[in-house]
């Protein structure tokens, strides 16, 4: 696994080059879309044949934030992040505005389908609404709590083509992540033991992005070759160390430590 000194958008361009080399216009999805900013970056970088955007855009997503009536002291109240969402996350109008913002970004893109539903409830709608049987890339960034990420990984792996990818956002253990009760890295650790996916690359950043691919896929070698021959600085480590990753904040920059 390559720990790459880069950001998630570089990964999109890298995967685009890999799909091009493979002569494939990818079919892609994003789970957890918010206002569609990252979805548009994915769309522009990967030029997909089809794209599906899935988000509940609902205050019900707050219910899963913590199982406890009283938040533990290391977890911040959910509305601490209202600035990021453009209003209170308990207010339906905030979610309706985000949904409309997203729709307006993709209004002229006929190959994009937007499904307003919980990630798992959306699954039976995908094929009838889009004709898609399998995705070449699924970007997972919906509910970030352990059980939910694990559930997204477990269900959506079956919708990923044999040589397809999953990308996981916010896959880190960091002081800032702890304040949001993130369980993404821990869910990945469990998923890797239950599946034939392996992490092939991770960004050396807070809110890290991880590329996952099946261990017997030809894409494992192709991504490896693409990164090796790119100008992205990286350090190679055994992928089994992924669960040990921890973000450390220095005076000048953030790094990932596996020690």
Q: In this complex, which beta carbon is closest to ligand SAM, that of residue 34 or of residue 200?
A: 34
Comparison of 118 and 206: residue with beta carbon closer to ligand SAM: 118
DSSP-based helix, strand, coil % in the chain, nearest 5: 45, 20, 35
CA 203/CA 208 separation, integer angstroms: 5
- Among residues 16, 94, 12, the alpha carbon closest in space to that of 55 is found at 94
Record the tokens describing residue 35, joined without a space: 């206002």
With a CB cutoff of 8 Å and minimum separation 6, the contacts of 196 are: 214, 215, 216
Contact of 220 with 162, CB cutoff 8 Å? no
Least separation, in Å, of the C-beta of 159 and ligand SAM? 15
Query: What's 27's DSSP letter?
Result: E
Tokens representing residue 138 in the block: 């699924």
d(CA 221, CA 239): 14
Nearer to ligand SAM, 38 or 113 (CB): 38
Phi–psi pair at 3, nearest 5 degrees:
-90, 110
- Provide, rounded to whole angstroms, the least separation between the CB of residue 11 and ligand SAM: 13
**Rule CB under 6 A: which residues touch ligand SAM?**
30, 32-34, 37-38, 55-57, 61, 118-119, 141-143, 148
Q: How far is the CB of 87 from ligand SAM (least distance, A)?
A: 13
Of 88 and 224, which CB lies nearer to ligand SAM in the complex structure? 88
Residue closer to ligand SAM, measured from CB, 32 or 48: 32
Give the shortest CB-120-to-ligand SAM separation in angstroms.
Answer: 7
User: CB of 203: closest distance to ligand SAM in angstroms?
Assistant: 13
């Amino acid at each position: 696994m390559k720990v790459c000194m880069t950001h998630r958008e570089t990964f999109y361009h890298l995967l685009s080059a890999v799909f091009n080399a493979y002569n494939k216009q990818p079919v892609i999805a994003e789970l957890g879309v918010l206002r569609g900013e990252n979805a548009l970056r994915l769309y522009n970088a990967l030029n997909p044949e089809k794209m599906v955007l899935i988000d509940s855009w609902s205050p019900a997503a707050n219910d899963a934030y913590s199982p406890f009536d009283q938040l533990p002291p290391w977890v911040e109240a959910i509305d601490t992040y209202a600035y990021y969402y453009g209003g209170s996350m308990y207010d339906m109008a905030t979610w309706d505005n985000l949904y409309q913002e997203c729709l307006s970004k993709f209004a002229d893109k006929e190959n994009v389908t937007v499904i307003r539903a919980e990630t798992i409830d959306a699954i039976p709608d995908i094929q009838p609404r889009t004709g898609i049987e399998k995705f070449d890339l699924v970007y997972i960034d919906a509910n970030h709590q352990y059980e939910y990420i694990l559930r997204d990984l477990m269900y959506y792996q079956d919708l990923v083509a044999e040589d397809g990818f999953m990308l996981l956002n916010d896959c880190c253990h960091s002081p800032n992540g702890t304040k949001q009760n993130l369980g993404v890295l821990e869910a990945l650790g469990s998923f890797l033991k239950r599946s034939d996916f392996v992490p092939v690359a991770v960004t050396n950043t807070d809110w890290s992005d991880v590329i996952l691919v099946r261990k017997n896929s030809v894409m494992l070698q192709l991504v490896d070759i693409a990164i090796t021959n790119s100008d992205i600085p990286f350090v190679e480590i055994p992928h089994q160390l992924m669960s040990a990753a921890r973000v450390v904040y220095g005076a000048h920059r953030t790094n990932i430590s596996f020690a």
